[in-house]
Amino acid sequence: KQEVTQIPAALSVPEGENLVLNCSFTDSAIYNLQWFRQDPGKGLTSLLLIQSSQREQTSGRLNASLDKSSGRSTLYIAASQPGDSATYLCASPFGNEKLTFGTGTRLTIIP
């Protein structure tokens, strides 16, 4: 059974700092890994998708990496802003289209 773990469950950092969110998965046979953002009372917004053949993807201040051999992905946020406060979830389709989600990390950026 595939498991996706995100630690810590919550993280608070001062504005302006760089930070890293972690995602671990047990089955390395993934097709891709996606990072999502969820704001309170809202749906999930896709941030980055890394294909299994890629090692990283970048979008603005966000950089996601993928290391299949170690079963890890990280989301790096540079120069954090209060608007980055949200819950961040990683997910992967293990062998099919069914996404398995991590439990998320709730990020708070302190002004």
Partner 1 sequence: DAGVIQSPRHEVTEMGQEVTLRCKPISGHNSLFWYRQTMMRGLELLIYFNNNVPIDDSGMPEDRFSAKMPNASFSTLKIQPSEPRDSAVYFCASSLTGTGNTIYFGEGSWLTVV
> For binding to partner 1 (CB under 8 A), which residues are involved?
31-32, 34, 36, 41-46, 49, 51, 89, 91, 93, 96-99, 101-104
Judged by DSSP in three states, 21 sits in strand
> How far apart are CB 34 and partner 1 at their closest, in Å?
7
Angle value at C-alpha 72, between 38 and 14, nearest 5 degrees: 50
> How far apart are CB 1 and partner 1 at their closest, in Å?
13
- Asked if 46 and 34 touch (Cβ cutoff 8 Å), the reply is yes
> How far apart are CB 13 and partner 1 at their closest, in Å?
23
